[in-house]
Structure 1
Amino acid sequence: MKTAVIVIFLLITAKAHAQTTIVEGKVTDGKESLPGVTVYTDEKNATGTDADGNYKLELPQGKATIHARSLGYAEVIKEVVLSGATFRYDIVMTPLSTQLSSVVVSAGKFEQKLEEVTVSMNTIKPGAIEQFSDNSIESAITNVTGINVNDGQANIRGGSGFSYGAGSRVLVLVDDMPMLSADANDVKWSFLPIENMEQIEIIKGASSALYGSSAMNGVINFRTGYAKSEPVTHITQYTGIYDSPARREIKWWGKNTQMMTGANMFHARKIGNWDIVIGGHYLLDEGFREGETEKRARANLNIRYRFKKVEGLSAGVNLNYMETFGGLFIIWNDDTTGAYIPSGGMNDSTTTLSIYHTKRFNVDPFITYVGKKGFSAKWRSRFFRTANFNNTDQQAFADLLYSEVQLQQHVEKLNLTVTGGGVISDGGVISDLYGSRKTYNKAIYAQVDKKFFNRLNISAGGRYEQFRFRYNKPESKPVFRAGANLRLHKATYIRASIGQGYRFPSIAEKYVKTRVGSIVIYPNDSVHSETGWTAEIGIRQLFSMGKRVSGYVDASVFRSEYKDMLEFAFGQYGDLFNDPLFGLGFKSVNIGNTRIDGMEYELGLQIAVLKNLNINIGGGYTYIDPQMSDFDSLKASTGTVSYNFLKYRYRNMFKGYAGVDYGRFSFALNCRYNSFMENIDKVFNELIPGIKQYRSEHDKGDWVYDANISYKITDYLTASVISRNLFNHEYMGIPSQVEAPRMWLFQVNLKL
């Protein structure tokens, strides 16, 4: 009897093994192997590719549907019939390299197709940076529909005005973690490592439910990259010359030549289970405004180790360091010969020019675990230090400590993703401007994303956050968001979303006291947080005409409302007898409730005319109507218009691009239009020479064009001639800062 049982057991075991097949293969992009790709049939049968792109699955024999998914690549779905002991299936994935079909992470903290997210989003690829030799991200994001940058502050769909370098309603992230300084909550675009850029993802609208304070107006998430299977080296060198301005009388440099030169370097490789990325950048800019020079150098290092014994477990650290020397131009001397000369000239005793030296660095350790059954856990942290020195005895040292734990479960069978996490963040400042200050922040968040019938995506989430200044009572804010995306037809997607936002005031907004010429900025310890919400309805239509033409059209309408909006306002805040201008100046105040209605349209078109001739055309238009909800004549009296329109906004914006690739030649053209900035603080007309006259003569809006002509000398070497501000148009952003004249650049790009 015992022998019979053993025989039966062995037969059953043999039969069970005979009914499974080992599926193995390699995943590539056609050239390089791809590590970290998820290969699965369902949540019970899943794996990830190793460092060399290899995978292995044991599956039941018979019919099976194999999926392969990875960020930035189109999903591969293959039906196979399995029989025998082994089955070889090598997978080739296609990069999603265009705005037409991209994969994004920021909308829900997991991979989604751009057309399936519930909010309006844009992406920027590394090629857009290289094409126009942008030496910071600021230049690149100004070409995104609905976005402009005033004096370094990003403004999405009119959500922000001009804040004098303090506070931001757009949260800038690097690898999903905030990169705003602890003192002013501002971003220095030049600090972001453009040499190691995988993708920039931009969310338009309130996003505080996932990302917290400062995400009131949207999110810009800068994502760095890691090594692929083959070593990669990129080196870009560029040299430029500032052309003479259209008005020769404002050319202060006479017969001299004002130049700019810089370089970016990037190297990535795998060494065993180590992924290593090294990057560097330098810039020498003599400037077009007198005294506003810049010398900077940046170095960064990304290291990741993938553990052999625990599949899916990795740990590493990212580091970035930058040092900058330069001059900061604040106010012009006048609108005639002094438009590019600082107020007070270059005399040390009278000039408003600030000479600065800054140091910034961040250290980001992390641990990530990605399981086979859709579970992932991440711990991310950041230490971010800024040190600012200048010749006006206004030094500031600020530290930010950030730590986040995120857990996520994806259930493939249910098309369900659940994400949750917690954040602790502390900031500390020692400064002549603000004194010694500390902030404390902690939050928990959760979001659920569910797909129904392979057509309808539903997303809902919330966050509870507490914030306080040292010695002050804490403020707490619960916020929520919800959205839906419905695929009506094969390529027609309708989305709708509503999200709440909030922003706690920065240390600078509460405590700063400084002076620029005769203009004084006063502290306001009583200023409190602002809250709001954004709602949007949009439609995105993908289309193709044969095999040669493809594109998309996107349209949306939106509304944003803000309660107790924080902005700097002019008034009598100082001592009537002892302070300049009888105590008149600026300070951060809660100006009241505001509302911004608007609409936005985008078009992208790709045409394959011939085998080696391709054309890309596109652009977008944004209209906004930003108003005070509780408008009265007293509030209007501080501005340059008497009607209801928020300060420092553009009512109409247009961004366009065109590109032609023919063999080894390529040509690209970008254009952007901002309508006239209707409303600014009236005091600028009265205190700064020439502002009123200049604005009256330049009130038709501004068209600015950039162009690039490139030739691919070899498969590795490309040379380009670039023109920024191609038609040498003179225009002004914020009051008294006329922007750069035409610049000619020569660039060489080496890719090995």
Structure 2
Amino acid sequence: MIRSIFIILFVLLYNALAAQTNVTVQIFDAENDTPLEFVSVYCERSGGNTDANGKVNIVVNKEDYSIKCTYVGFQTFIAEGRKSELVNNSLVVKMSAVPNLLEEVSVVSGRYDRQLIREIASVEIIKPDLLRSNNLSSLEDLLDRIPGIQMIDGQANIRGGSGFAYGAGSRVLLTVNDVPAMQPDAGFPNWRDIPIENMAQVEVLKGAGSVLYGSTAMNGVINYRTAWATSKPETVVSTQFTGFLSPNDKAKKWWTSLPFESNTSIVHRQKFKKWDGVFGGNYFHADSYNQGNYEHQGRIFANIKFNIAPKLQVAINTLVNKGESDTFVYWRDGGDNAYRGDTTSYSPSKKLRFFIDPVLTYLGGSGGEHKLIGRYFSINNNVANDQSQKSNMKYLEYRYRHSLEKLNMEFTAGLVYTGTRIEAKLYGDTVYTSTNIAGYVSLDKTFFKKLTINAGARYEYNKLTSPEMVDGIAIPNGETSESKPVFKLGANFLLTRYSSIRASWGQGYRYPTVAEKFIKTTAGAIRVSPNPNLESETGYSAEIGIKQGLKIANWKGFVDVAFFRSDYDNMMEFVLQNISKGFQSFNIGDTRIQGYEIGIQGAGNIGNVTIRTLCGYTNIEPTYRNFSEIDTFKSTVTYNVLKYRMKHSFRGDIGLVYKGFEVGAYYQYNSKMEAIDKVFDLGIPGVHDFRASHDRGSNVIGFRVIVPVIMDKLTVGFNLNNALNEEYSTRPGLLEAPRNFSMRLDWKF
């Protein structure tokens, strides 16, 4: 009897094993034949994710198989057939990208690919078309065209979350391919460090990102993603020229020859057997419409990926940036000399900056992704007036991500180390070091294919070493440290395929930078002193939003409406507390910024014309929660409003393309900056009178024409910027560019 049972079990097991077949599935992008990594592939109970070569091995039991392939941003593909018809037990699949913006994907909010329609917070995705068609030469210029963002002299301000601090401190984190790219001493980006010529897309998270990204992401995250090679080698050469015309008030014109900017870049992308390479360079030359201001700088970069094994890949991204520049902090006066600087406020400098980012990726047998991300960032800024500084940053992050498709879950966790060393005359000609150690976890769970719940937490430790005595203030053992947890929670409910509502709440935490605590410098009549007693700030951002798809003929897009509120405790800003010490970074108290934003974005054809649209209106109410007259810190107004914010802003861009020809226009509106420091209003010549005569905000309009010389190969663009020659200023003592024209040539071969 036992022998018979054994024989029966053996036969059943043999037949089951005989029915199993190992099948290799390889998946490519249908548009350019590029292998797709991390595609989920399932057949009955067997499945996995594709590796760097787009391959995955699965087990097929039945003769008639059905293999499902899913990848965010691509249309789901189901391959059906018979095992006996497979050649060498292999299957090649080509997946097509989704034709709708709502199914575009970003990684900025969850550290994994997530469809825009399923985001739990406000996220903008910007493609290179906006950069090229507007002849923009830096990421800074591009961000100023995005609804909800205001660039104030190089500082990104999302929905009023920041005021203005000259080159020190930011509540918005800039990352390049998910790696922090902020300056070690000031927590402030250098926009010329970003190889904008190799842009794949820019993702903007509007709201607290501290849980996944740490201290600097309190007000949001800007993630710049670089492009990689496709199946065919490609070289792109771009050159651009911008000339600045006479201002509306001819008395302000100081130049006799045309001030101009030129920007030239070359990028080559190519795939080889086991590795991909992207190499490029850029040279930027600007002799400004501001007298004596110039910038001459060049950068080169190399991004390389090598497939060590089918599931093991190493990538190294490097960049070197060298140049020289000179700028003034504020004008000589707001009248005839508005484009001339106060002679005591110029800051000539030379710089050498470089980074190297190694990334090791391993796809585990269970489908999990292990990633080790590093960065070494070195800065040497040689600046006049005792403002030089040398610093370096070491960054290391281990990240684990697992897509549990059967449970409809996405799991992400990581450990982060950041260490900096800073030596600068700006901070007393001594050495400062900082250490940040953090751990985070984030989980997404989808219920009924409609409701997605997100939860996350981070624990962060910060330590800063300094001299034991700074500006007469004792620092015990020359060390300050603290640790804090932060949490986030969000939900997205898919009403229909192209309609969703969302709600999110995320805590923020920001530790003071070395610059904010210890900077000691002068710029003309402006003096800045250290404040070693500066404390960290905390808070939260909350949002409720709805996203609704739109379709007109073959034009597809969406309208997005969001209501938001951010509360900050112990907010840090530079203020004038003591005349003898000048400006210092202080904890100004508890603040609140709330408001709403309405935006429309889309692309597609109406008849034979392709229409690209991006526009949005943002309304904010920035106030003190514990307001009294003393809380205004010598502001130009006595009512309750935070300084250096514009309550109303609008950004709009539209492009019409017919057989490669494009005509387009943009419009930017900022309402008046109601409150600034009274010392700027009275102490800098011309600021008070200029603000009094320019109290209706600014309206800036531009137009463009792009002509295809050789279709898909060679294009020439012409832009007229600030076409109405609007005279406006985004921060006190600095006038923006007058009417200017630019020409751009793009050659792809």
User: What TM-score, normalized to structure 1?
Assistant: 0.93
**Shift in Å at residue 468 of structure 1?**
1.2
Equivalent residues of 2:550, 2:556 under 8 A apart: yes
**Counterpart AA for 2:725:** N
* Cα deviation digits, residues 694-750 of structure 1 (max 9, x gap): 001101011112322111111311111122222221110110100011221111101
Give the counterpart of 1:464 among 459, 477, 481.
459
Structure 1 residues 564 and 278, CA gap change in structure 2 (3 angstroms): same
**Shift in Å at residue 94 of structure 1?**
3.1
**Local SS of the residue matching 1:468:** strand
Alignment of 1:589-604 (within 5 A): 589-604=586-601
In the alignment, the residues of structure 2 paired with residue 37 and residue 469 of structure 1 have an alpha-carbon distance, to the nearest angstrom, of 39
In the alignment, the residues of structure 2 paired with residue 475 and residue 14 of structure 1 have an alpha-carbon distance, to the nearest angstrom, of 63
**Counterpart AA for 1:647:** K
Give the counterpart of 2:180 among 173, 178, 181.
178
1:221 alignment counterpart: 223
* Cα deviation digits, residues 647-667 of structure 1 (max 9, x gap): 000100111111101012111
Structure 1 residues 563 and 239, CA gap change in structure 2 (3 angstroms): same
**Local SS of the residue matching 1:639:** coil
**Local SS of the residue matching 2:84:** coil
Equivalent residues of 2:52, 2:311 under 8 A apart: no
Alignment of 1:549-628 (within 5 A): 549-572=555-578, 583=580, 585-610=582-607, 612-628=608-624
2:300 alignment counterpart: 299
In the alignment, the residues of structure 2 paired with residue 98 and residue 695 of structure 1 have an alpha-carbon distance, to the nearest angstrom, of 44
- Asked whether 1:507 is paired with 2:514, we answer yes
- Between stretches 189-198 and 78-87, larger displacement belongs to 78-87
Equivalent residues of 1:37, 1:68 under 8 A apart: no
Structure 1 residues 58 and 170, CA gap change in structure 2 (3 angstroms): same
Equivalent residues of 1:45, 1:59 under 8 A apart: no
* Cα deviation digits, residues 246-274 of structure 1 (max 9, x gap): 111111103x1112111121111122201
In the alignment, the residues of structure 2 paired with residue 392 and residue 508 of structure 1 have an alpha-carbon distance, to the nearest angstrom, of 16
**Shift in Å at residue 190 of structure 1?**
1.2
2:489 alignment counterpart: 482
Structure 1 residues 50 and 205, CA gap change in structure 2 (3 angstroms): closer
**Shift in Å at residue 96 of structure 1?**
5.3
2:273 alignment counterpart: 272
Equivalent residues of 1:449, 1:460 under 8 A apart: yes
Give the counterpart of 2:438 among 437, 443, 447.
443
In the alignment, the residues of structure 1 paired with residue 91 and residue 660 of structure 2 have an alpha-carbon distance, to the nearest angstrom, of 35
In the alignment, the residues of structure 2 paired with residue 696 and residue 505 of structure 1 have an alpha-carbon distance, to the nearest angstrom, of 35
Structure 1 residues 494 and 157, CA gap change in structure 2 (3 angstroms): same
Alignment of 1:701-740 (within 5 A): 701-714=697-710, 715-740=712-737
Equivalent residues of 1:41, 1:64 under 8 A apart: no
Equivalent residues of 1:47, 1:57 under 8 A apart: no
1:577 alignment counterpart: none
In the alignment, the residues of structure 2 paired with residue 136 and residue 716 of structure 1 have an alpha-carbon distance, to the nearest angstrom, of 23
2:336 alignment counterpart: 337
Alignment of 1:644-659 (within 5 A): 644-659=640-655
2:161 alignment counterpart: 159
**Local SS of the residue matching 1:307:** strand
Structure 1 residues 214 and 637, CA gap change in structure 2 (3 angstroms): closer
- Between stretches 486-495 and 141-150, larger displacement belongs to 486-495
- Asked whether 1:76 is paired with 2:76, we answer yes
**Counterpart AA for 1:533:** Y
Structure 1 residues 642 and 12, CA gap change in structure 2 (3 angstroms): closer
- Asked whether 1:382 is paired with 2:375, we answer yes
Structure 1 residues 461 and 24, CA gap change in structure 2 (3 angstroms): closer
Give the counterpart of 2:254 among 252, 255, 267.
252
1:686 alignment counterpart: 682
Question: Any gaps of 5 or more consecutive residues in structure 1?
Answer: 345-350, 574-582
Give the counterpart of 1:124 among 97, 104, 126.
126
In the alignment, the residues of structure 2 paired with residue 572 and residue 337 of structure 1 have an alpha-carbon distance, to the nearest angstrom, of 32
**Local SS of the residue matching 1:140:** helix
Equivalent residues of 1:505, 1:527 under 8 A apart: yes
In the alignment, the residues of structure 1 paired with residue 358 and residue 93 of structure 2 have an alpha-carbon distance, to the nearest angstrom, of 33
**Local SS of the residue matching 2:141:** helix
Structure 1 residues 529 and 548, CA gap change in structure 2 (3 angstroms): same
- Between stretches 83-92 and 649-658, larger displacement belongs to 83-92
Q: What's the Cα RMSD here?
A: 2.3
In the alignment, the residues of structure 1 paired with residue 603 and residue 185 of structure 2 have an alpha-carbon distance, to the nearest angstrom, of 45
* Cα deviation digits, residues 130-172 of structure 1 (max 9, x gap): 1122111001111111101111111000000001210110011
2:474 alignment counterpart: none
In the alignment, the residues of structure 2 paired with residue 665 and residue 693 of structure 1 have an alpha-carbon distance, to the nearest angstrom, of 45
* Cα deviation digits, residues 303-329 of structure 1 (max 9, x gap): 111123xx2210121111101211112
In the alignment, the residues of structure 1 paired with residue 260 and residue 65 of structure 2 have an alpha-carbon distance, to the nearest angstrom, of 62
**Counterpart AA for 1:552:** F
**Counterpart AA for 2:413:** G
Give the counterpart of 1:454 among 449, 454, 464.
449
2:525 alignment counterpart: 518
**Local SS of the residue matching 2:103:** coil
Equivalent residues of 1:44, 1:373 under 8 A apart: no
Equivalent residues of 2:528, 2:581 under 8 A apart: no
Structure 1 residues 635 and 447, CA gap change in structure 2 (3 angstroms): same
**Local SS of the residue matching 1:261:** strand
**Shift in Å at residue 79 of structure 1?**
5.6
Equivalent residues of 2:101, 2:556 under 8 A apart: no
2:740 alignment counterpart: 743
Equivalent residues of 1:383, 1:401 under 8 A apart: yes
Question: Any gaps of 5 or more consecutive residues in structure 2?
Answer: 466-477
In the alignment, the residues of structure 2 paired with residue 22 and residue 181 of structure 1 have an alpha-carbon distance, to the nearest angstrom, of 49
1:106 alignment counterpart: 108
In the alignment, the residues of structure 2 paired with residue 463 and residue 181 of structure 1 have an alpha-carbon distance, to the nearest angstrom, of 23
Equivalent residues of 2:108, 2:205 under 8 A apart: yes
In the alignment, the residues of structure 2 paired with residue 608 and residue 501 of structure 1 have an alpha-carbon distance, to the nearest angstrom, of 42
Give the counterpart of 1:361 among 335, 354, 358.
354
**Local SS of the residue matching 1:454:** coil
Structure 1 residues 716 and 455, CA gap change in structure 2 (3 angstroms): same
1:141 alignment counterpart: 143
In the alignment, the residues of structure 2 paired with residue 628 and residue 39 of structure 1 have an alpha-carbon distance, to the nearest angstrom, of 49
**Local SS of the residue matching 2:426:** coil
* Cα deviation digits, residues 314-372 of structure 1 (max 9, x gap): 0121111101211112110011111000113xxxxxx3211111111111112101235
- Between stretches 513-522 and 35-44, larger displacement belongs to 35-44
**Counterpart AA for 1:323:** K
**Local SS of the residue matching 1:210:** helix
Structure 1 residues 336 and 28, CA gap change in structure 2 (3 angstroms): same
Equivalent residues of 1:154, 1:170 under 8 A apart: yes
In the alignment, the residues of structure 1 paired with residue 213 and residue 457 of structure 2 have an alpha-carbon distance, to the nearest angstrom, of 10
* Identity percentage of aligned residues: 35
In the alignment, the residues of structure 2 paired with residue 379 and residue 44 of structure 1 have an alpha-carbon distance, to the nearest angstrom, of 28
1:401 alignment counterpart: 394
In the alignment, the residues of structure 1 paired with residue 545 and residue 249 of structure 2 have an alpha-carbon distance, to the nearest angstrom, of 44
User: What TM-score, normalized to structure 2?
Assistant: 0.93
Equivalent residues of 2:46, 2:58 under 8 A apart: no
Give the counterpart of 1:700 among 679, 696, 699.
696
In the alignment, the residues of structure 2 paired with residue 660 and residue 688 of structure 1 have an alpha-carbon distance, to the nearest angstrom, of 44
Structure 1 residues 639 and 202, CA gap change in structure 2 (3 angstroms): same
* Cα deviation digits, residues 45-66 of structure 1 (max 9, x gap): 2242664x56664422266553
2:243 alignment counterpart: 241
1:352 alignment counterpart: 345
Structure 1 residues 637 and 443, CA gap change in structure 2 (3 angstroms): closer
**Counterpart AA for 1:334:** D
1:421 alignment counterpart: 414
In the alignment, the residues of structure 2 paired with residue 526 and residue 686 of structure 1 have an alpha-carbon distance, to the nearest angstrom, of 29
